Structure 1
């Protein structure tokens, strides 16, 4: 059992208060003013621990960048390949996929992660406006 930690509580509170899917660095940057002794390594270790414990979800993106989500329910994500933003996709999770995967006989299925990739509307607008620096 892990001991209670003020820093871990602050990291979790920060993640719970956000609508985006921040990286460890984004969480660190938002906490370091109030917790000047916190390190980026501490943020990474605590996020990884909370993900292992099932308290949060870790989303692996291109280039090995991880984003974090407080919502651990089955839901889909959208990753913009231009700006790297990760967003919840407002479509219901497909429970049928779990059943189909289970029926394949490959092994037991606990859950699945479905990530869509593309260019978000903000980046498309910037490209249309002639701003090629994304």
Structure 2
């Protein structure tokens, strides 16, 4: 398993863990459960895998291409999810709340978008690495 595949797995697992923590905390804390997204701070731990070890090459051109593609797909997915959610929120608030959007709702939207971005990015990275044939 290459270093960047370990990074992709870390991004995927931390994003899933963050969503699970929030779902567990929601019945107890209600809207304040978004604090569970603090688990996303462990995404930084993925940098341990790409630490240079002497003269050994850790990341090659293939890894850069996979990282670029997975980042692009992750950001685009999160952007489209946010865009569609904002459209839905505008229609919902205009119909039921006289056009008032709470900051709590927008905070949730930002955290969910962050989790979607890194979850999709990690998922695309893992699927790309697992789908490739390795040279022997």
TM > 0.5: no
- Give me the TM-score of the superposition, normalised by structure 1: 0.28
Structure in which a larger fraction of residues adopt strand: 1
- Give me the TM-score of the superposition, normalised by structure 2: 0.27
Structure in which a larger fraction of residues adopt helix: 2
Greater radius of gyration (CA)? 2
